[in-house]
Amino acid sequence: MNRKSHRPGSWSLALATAAALTGGPAQAAGDDAATLKALQQQLQQIQAELKGLAEENRALKEHEAEVDRKLAALNAPAGGTAPVAQAVPVAPAAAVPDNTSALPNASALPSTAALSPTATASPGTTGPGLFGTGLRLWGYGEVYYTNPTSERQDSQFDLARAVFGIGYQFDEKTEFNSEYEVEHAVASADDPGEFEVEQFYVDRHLNDYVTARAGLFLMPFGLLNEHHEPTNFYGVQRNFVETLIIPSTWREGGLNFHGDTPLGIGWNAGVTTGFDLSKWDFAPEFPPYHTALDLENSGVAPLQATHQELALANGRHLSQYLALSYYGVPGLNLGAAISTGDAVPVPAPPNAPIPGNQRVALWEAHARWTPGPFDLTALYARGTISNTALINQSNPGSPNPIPSAFYGYYFQGAMQAWQHGDYKLNPFVRYEVYNMGSKYDGTAGPVIPEGDVPLSAAPGDYGRWPVWYDRVWTVGANFYLGPHLVLKTDYQWFKDNVDFKRWDLGLGIAF
């Protein structure tokens, strides 16, 4: 419906003008009377429109009440009385960090845009939920094209992941969140895809500063693991350090307590399932990867290969973790986290028992600063596995022994170079170093065959066995079409695995 727009300011001006005119000189009385009459007619017209709007508002309220009655009838149990539809109460909002950044920071999970390790779906961030209930739906996904410029026959298009979330807020203190992911488009026994539960937990808000969480949840490590929607990171693929050293997306089953303080300090502490070294493959028949994309998807990194994801997880040994963050200065986020715990041991030969347990530890520290249009990030992560000497000695000549130490770090700079309405262009550059085995006990390191070796069982598929460390430069840009849609491109080149260099294109969504 089209209507004329009348602002209160114009009414005041009209009245003031009328008042001034009525007090004018006598010789202008005739003109003043005509002007005053015109203003009176205009005011009468405004009053008539206001009366019409009031009637329309009353009709809309009656229609809304009728819709609520119908929804309540639909939701009523069989033979029961239909409950009256009510809005979900809103709990007091906890302090969250300032996220001023070149990135739009549109997180798929309700209210997980905060970069503190206490990220949680805060009640009230999505209103009363779907159809006036506590139900919430969200999702994200990414499609990409990758072109290894030295091995163009390995170019691929892929629906890398499609993730859908379901949440429910039971009351102002209790809520449930979950995510379900399909990777590589098709999941079956004969296809490369997977279907998995990425998150499944319940939060109970104890007070304004403490929340308890139980279930399968993301570990609060680094900048990416809890905020891995494609709209939240630069580049088509996730960075190598937060994939190979911090095994994003890293989730464990357990219990934690987390919260935020008025001083801008976030904390998160918990007990979770640990790592399972009994799954370690000391004698792979073929190289576990021969392209950069294979490297990210192979699950061969130390913690990728051993974390349990609450899939019939061994509960004999549990891990403990603590994460802290500081976001009291606008545009600055500092954080650190540490996890440690005994792992499920590698089976020992009957005649050579291995005393003691293997203990797995990981710690990281990160910083993000977003002055004006710039977004500057640095992260360092290091892990250790103890008591591996006898294990490696019992597997001599292995191309894949268990490392006693591994690490990685990166520096990244980005800026918002152009904006027009919802469109934003953010170029970036990143330098990263990763080493999946910086130290080995009981062996000098992986024994890698020289020259060309079979890369798979396919005839004629030969190449070199890759090394487990590298230095990588990435240059690219994110082009945002609003906060929920991004187009990406980048080029990567590698110092050690030189044939891994590639050019990527990507599409990401989050809602």
* pLDDT for the residue 68: 63
- Give yes or no for a contact between 471 and 432, defined as CB atoms under 8 angstroms apart: yes
Single out the residue of 355, 321, 325 nearest to residue 338, CA to CA.
321
DSSP 346: P
The overall pTM is greater than 0.85:
no
User: Would you state the structure tokens that stand for residue 290, as one six-digit string?
Assistant: 């021969």
Instruction: Name the residue with tokens 């799954």.
Output: 279
The per-residue b/e assignment along 94-105, b for 16 or more CB within 10 angstroms, e otherwise, is bbbbbbebbbbb
Alpha carbon of residue 193 to chain centroid: 21
Q: Residue written as tokens 């779907």?
A: 130
- Mind listing the domains of the chain with CATH numbers? 139-510 (2.40.160.10)
Quote the CA–CA distance of 447 and 449 in Å, as a whole number. Answer: 7
**378-381 long-range contacts, CB within 8 A, separation 24+:** 378/409, 378/410, 378/411, 378/412, 379/222, 379/223, 379/241, 379/242, 379/409, 379/410, 380/407, 380/408, 380/409, 381/221, 381/222, 381/241, 381/242, 381/245, 381/246, 381/407, 381/408, 381/409
Which residues are CB-neighbours of 151 under 8 A, at least 6 positions away? 290, 291, 499
Transcribe 391-420 into DSSP letters: HHHTSTT-SSPPPSEEEEEEEEEEE--EEE
CA distance 263 to 97: 10
Question: How many angstroms separate the most distant Cα atoms in the chain?
Answer: 121
Residue 396 confidence (pLDDT): 93
Closest CA to 466 of 304, 301, 331: 301
Per-residue pLDDT of the chain (511 residues; tens, 9 = 90+): 444 444 444 434 333 444 444 444 444 455 667 777 777 777 777 777 777 777 777 777 776 766 666 555 554 444 343 333 333 333 333 333 333 344 444 333 333 333 333 444 333 344 455 555 799 999 999 999 999 998 888 899 999 999 999 999 999 999 999 999 999 999 887 888 899 999 999 999 999 999 999 999 999 999 999 999 999 999 999 999 999 999 999 999 999 999 999 999 999 999 999 999 999 999 999 999 989 999 988 899 999 999 999 999 999 999 999 999 999 999 999 999 999 999 999 987 777 778 888 999 999 999 999 999 999 999 999 999 999 999 999 899 999 999 999 999 999 999 999 999 999 999 999 999 999 999 999 999 999 998 899 988 888 889 899 999 999 999 999 999 999 999 999 999 999 999 999 999 999 999 9
